[in-house]
Amino acid sequence: MEKLFYILSGLTLISAIMVILSKHPIRSILFLVLTFFLISAHYILLNAQFLALVNIVVYAGAIMVLFLFVVMFLNLNRDIERFKSWLPLAAAVISGSCVFLVFLSAYKSSHQIQIENSGGYQIGLVENLGEVLYRDYLFPMEISSVLFLVAMIGVMLLSRKEKTETVKNLLP
């Protein structure tokens, strides 16, 4: 089991790094899909099958298809990456290393806590997860779903407004 974990982690890291190293955005997206699959494999290793499959359905099945969809529209001709100014690059490197430092210091200062697992190895199965979500944490769960609904309706409203404006602009 432990060996499997290390092999999977290695593969996950390699494919995650390939996301940034690939020259072509389509390939980056495909590596990202592979990364999501490997993360799902980690969930299965933890016996959390529901989470693993939801991860695949939502991220690999829906969100990444949308990404691919948009990139296909954008990059119809394969032009080679043009040189951009150094400023955003430097900003990205500095902020990225800052975040890395924060993680590192958080890891250094944290105590090694042994997390108590009262539910045994079946805690990740869908029945137990459902009971926890809909009995113990019902209120936060409902609040977050309302939040999602609001976000969804907001997106629809925004996109609709834009559309009518462009139509108005087109009219003489």
Partner 1 sequence: MSDWVVKFIFIVVIFALSLFIAMYSTYAERKIAAFLQDRLGPNRAGPFGILQPLADGVKLFFKEEFIPRASDKWLFLMGPGLFICTALMTSAVIPFAPDLMWDGKLISMQATDLNVGILYIFGVVSLGVYGILIGGWASNNKFSLLGAIRAASQNISYELAMGLSIVALIMVTSSLSLKDIVSQQSGWHWNVIYQPLGFLIFIICAFAETNRAPFDLPECETELVGGYHTEYSSMKLGFYLFAEYINMFISSAVLATLYFGGYQFPFISSMDPGIAKTILGAAVMFGKIFFFIFFFMWVRWTLPRFRYDQLMNLGWKILIPLSVINILLTAGFILFKS
Write out the residues near partner 1 by the rule CB under 8 A.
24, 26-27, 30, 33, 49-50, 53-54, 56-57, 60-62, 65-66, 68-69, 72-73, 76, 125-127
Residue 57 or 102 with smaller CB distance to partner 1: 57
Find the shortest distance in angstroms from Cβ 56 to partner 1.
4
Give residue 129's identity as a one-letter amino acid code. Answer: L
The nearer residue to partner 1, 3 or 78, going by C-beta atoms, is 78
**For partner 1, which is the closer residue by CB, 14 or 56?**
56
Q: Which is nearer to partner 1, 41 or 49 (CB)?
A: 49
Minimum distance from residue 96 beta carbon to partner 1 (Å): 29
Least distance CB 152 / partner 1 (angstroms): 11
Q: Got the DSSP string for 38-61?
A: HHHHHHHHTT-HHHHHHHIIIIII
Mark 17-45 as b/e (b = at least 16 C-beta within 10 Å): ebbeeeeebeebbbbbbbbbbbbbbbbee
* Residues 19, 28: Cα–Cα separation, whole Å: 4
Which helix H or strand E contains 86, and what residues bound it?
helix 86-109
The amino acid that residue 157 corresponds to is L
In the complex, the smallest distance separating the C-beta of residue 53 from partner 1, rounded to whole angstroms, is 4
